[in-house]
Amino acid sequence: MLYFAYASNLSKKYMSSRCPHAIPLKKVRLKGYKLTFNELADIVPKEGEEVVGGLYLISKQELEKLDILEGHPDLYERIIVEVEDDGGNLYEAFVYSMVDKKEQAPPDSYYNILKDGYEDWEIDKERLEKARRFE
């Protein structure tokens, strides 16, 4: 199964502690969505925006584990999206999106895990910083 990570699971070390057999594949973008924070990271539909993240290959067992860790279905719902790599190739993947939408700043410790993930995948941190400022 393909999983699009845009938050703490971008950190390869963090993701490995949760799903040791997950295989990081490539950096991809989700068009038509914007990164925001509701204490934890979230994505919301927004025309003209995109969320850059990482694409992982995970097993059904790891999906079940992630569902529990991500609080599915009460905190995060799982949705199917289409992501695109730098070569224009499209992939269908699942992603977690928060059920209740509101804006709330993330704790520094959580934000630092996201920054590590952005470095792991060589993603420009500008959108991450804008999301933290709710821009």
- Per-residue pLDDT reduced to its tens digit, 70-126: 999 999 999 999 999 999 999 999 999 999 999 999 999 999 999 999 999 999 999
SS3 readout for 10-42: HCHHHHHHHCCCCEEEEEEEEEEEEEEEECEEE
Longest dimension (CA), the chain: 37
Phi, psi of 101 (to 5 degrees): -100, 120
Name 2's bridge partners. Answer: 57
Q: pTM for the complete prediction?
A: 0.96
Phi-psi region of 15 (alpha: psi -120 to 50; beta: other; left: phi over 0): alpha
pLDDT per residue as tens digits for the range 28-52: 999 999 999 999 999 999 999 999 9
